[in-house]
Structure 1
Amino acid sequence: MGKVKIKRKSTLIDMTAMSDVTVLLLTFFMLTSTFLQKEPVTVLTPSSVSEQKVPTANLASVLVSPEGKVFISIAGDADAELKDTWGTEALRKTILDEAVTLYNKQHPSNQVQLSAQDREAFSKINMFGVPFQVLHQFLAMSQTEQDKFISDMTQKGVGIPVNDNKDMEHLNEFQIWMRAIYNSGNDNLQKAMKKGEGIAVKADKDTPYDVVQDVLDNLQTLKMNRFSIMTALKTEQD
């Protein structure tokens, strides 16, 4: 009796449906993800058990590097298409104008003059940190040159000057920027700052304590008594 031949089944698998699902998932994650903004220096924050997330809109972020250099990032409303909202780029231009005006009033013999191109360049920058006298030179650079300049922590012209100033008639440069942010005209940002959700301070665990203390004291001197301290979530090993 002859052997019965078993009909071989094709091993070919139609992957069309799998590919469609993969593309849909990829598209979903791309549209719903929040991309990390570029920062001039890597900061390793201290650990804590707090799980509260820092907002991504209507926020002034203050970063203090391990070398004690201070930088600021500004974010406006998430949806600038709605009525009475501020887009991030428009907000940055307004804050720049306000800050330069405040600085020039306090330094009439050494005023800063910025062009329309400078204002446009500033609106594209996520995080900045140079003295006012270096601002025009910095904004005239290409993005690559800006990144290279601001990431060099040995540069004297890197970092917003800050000290323990308590004289509200003669603000230091960090205080000028924070005052300009509060006076920007963006009601949503101002309300967030009053609630303690509009200011976040991020410092490296090795940052000199006196610099961090100056930043916090400056905020309190400006009556900005409510702010967040950014930390990393503590793990079991910690």
Structure 2
Amino acid sequence: MGKPKVKRKSTLIDMTAMSDVTVLLLTFFMLTSTFLAKEPATVITPSSVSEIKVPMENLVTILVSGAEAKSDGSLNRAVEGKVFIGLTGDTDSTYSSEKMRKDLLVEAQNRYNDMHPDAKVNFTPSQISAFSKLGMFGMPMKDLPAFLDLPTTEQDKIMKEFDPNKVGIPINDNRDVTKLNEFQIWMDAMQRVAQEYKNNGSTDGRGEPLEPNDKLYKALKQTGEGIAVKADKDTPYSTIHYVLDNLQTLKLNKFTLMTALKSEND
């Protein structure tokens, strides 16, 4: 007598639902992730017990480079104290980082030309677009147009080489608001852009009007959350003082010093 045949069950599994979930998760992380901006200098921030987090939007980051260690163990002080600025916009796409950077560059150009009528700079639309992609920038205004014309790989190379004669926004101990240095020009332009957003709004890429937005203004002028100064723990205070004094000259008296959270063993 023959054995009854057992019907084989299919081992195929419908993965459609799992694929849909994977795509949804991937899309979620892509839309909500915040990419870290490339920084031209590596700094180790000092430790503190403060647990206040630096905001991820409407933030101006001021990076101050520290001294660089040489192969013989000595320090290269020539690269110390170079200043760079980064701007992060609103999470609202109408006032995105790229839009704010474009408006900042145009305003900084106008302020610079007011201060230097015999050495004006003018940025083309393609240069303004290239600037809007920079997470952080720092070089003399006169050199910026040529830098923005370079491919991204060449821009990165210049920043990586870190020639002290080519990088860093010029800064000094100026306190005369009628003769702003370049760092002050950038920060003053930032204030003006924030004020314009607050009072009159702006326009989008098609020239359509945008509703007023006071978030950047509040962050810069009221809460103190809009400016974060990031410097190496071994950078002398005299170097950092230049930056802080420049901010106060522009009546930007509220800012944050970025630190690393101190552990129990520190």
TM-score norm. by structure 1 comes to: 0.85
Q: Distance in 1 between matches of 2:33 and 2:124?
A: 35
Counterpart check, 1:33 vs 2:49: no
Q: Partner of 2:93: helix, strand, or coil?
A: coil
1:133 aligns with 2:118: no
The equivalent residue for 2:205 is: none
Matches within 5 A, 1:179-198: 179-184=188-193, 185-187=196-198, 188-194=215-221, 195-198=223-226
Query: How much has 1:105 moved relative to structure 2?
Result: 0.9
Partner of 1:64: 64
Percentage of pairs with the same residue: 56
Q: Could you tell me which runs of 5 or more consecutive residues in structure 1 were left unpaired when the two chains were aligned.
A: 1-11
- Relative to structure 1, is the Cα distance of residues 153 and 191 closer, same or farther in structure 2, using a 3 angstrom cutoff? same
The secondary structure found in structure 2 opposite 1:71 is strand
Of 74, 88, 91 in structure 1, the residue corresponding to residue 87 of structure 2 is: 74
* Structure 1 residue 149 corresponds to structure 2 residue 158: yes
Greater length-normalized contact order (CA 8 Å, ≥ 6 residues apart): 1
Q: CA contact under 8 A between 1:45 and 1:203: conserved in structure 2?
A: yes
Where in structure 2 are the equivalents of 1:104-183 lying within 5 Å? Answer: 104-183=113-192
Shift of 1:77: 1.0
Given that 1:103 and 1:111 are in contact with CA atoms closer than 8 Å, whether structure 2 keeps it comes out as yes
Task: Give the counterpart of 2:247 among 214, 219, 228.
Answer: 219
Alignment correspondent of 2:260? 232
Secondary structure in 2 matching 1:220: helix
Whole-Å separation in 1 of the counterparts to 2:47 and 2:230: 12
Partner of 1:44: 44
Displacement of 1:21: 11
Whole-angstrom distance in 1 between the partners of 2:147 and 2:38: 17
Q: Structure 1 residue 34: deviation in Å? A: 2.5
Say which SS state the counterpart of residue 62 (structure 1) adopts: strand
C-alpha distance in 2 between matches for 1:65 and 1:216: 15
Query: What is the CA–CA distance in structure 2 between the aligned matches of 1:237 and 1:26, rounded to whole Å?
Result: 38
Tell me how far apart the structure 2 counterparts of residues 204 and 170 of structure 1 sit (CA, whole Å): 29
SS at match of 1:186: helix
Deviation at 1:35, TM superposition (A): 2.6
What is the rounded CA distance, in whole Å, between the counterparts of 1:217 and 1:95 in structure 2?
22
* SS of structure 2 residue aligned to 1:73: strand
The amino acid of 2:64's aligned partner reads V
Q: Deviations over 1:168-222 (max 9, x none)?
A: 0000000000000111123321111112011111011122322210000000111
Residues 28 and 114 of structure 1: is their aligned pair in 2 closer, same or farther, counting only changes over 3 Å?
A: closer
Unaligned runs of 5+ in 2: 1-10, 67-79, 199-214
Structure 2 length-normalised TM: 0.77
2:239 & 2:98 partners in 1: Cα distance?
29
Change (3 A) 1:110 1:25: closer
The number of residue pairs the alignment matches comes to 222
Distance in 2 between residues matched to 1:150 and 1:191, nearest whole Å: 32
Superposition deviation, residue 31 in structure 1: 4.5
Q: Matches of 1:127 and 1:215 in 2, distance apart?
A: 16
Q: Which amino acid aligns with 2:219?
A: A
Q: Matches of 2:126 and 2:233 in 1, distance apart?
A: 37
Q: Distance in 2 between matches of 1:20 and 1:146?
A: 39
Q: What residue in structure 1 maps to residue 229 of structure 2?
A: 201
Q: Render the CA deviation track for 1:70-111: whole Å, top value 9, x for unaligned.
A: 000011111124xxxx12111111111111111111111111
In structure 2, give the amino acid aligned to 1:51: E
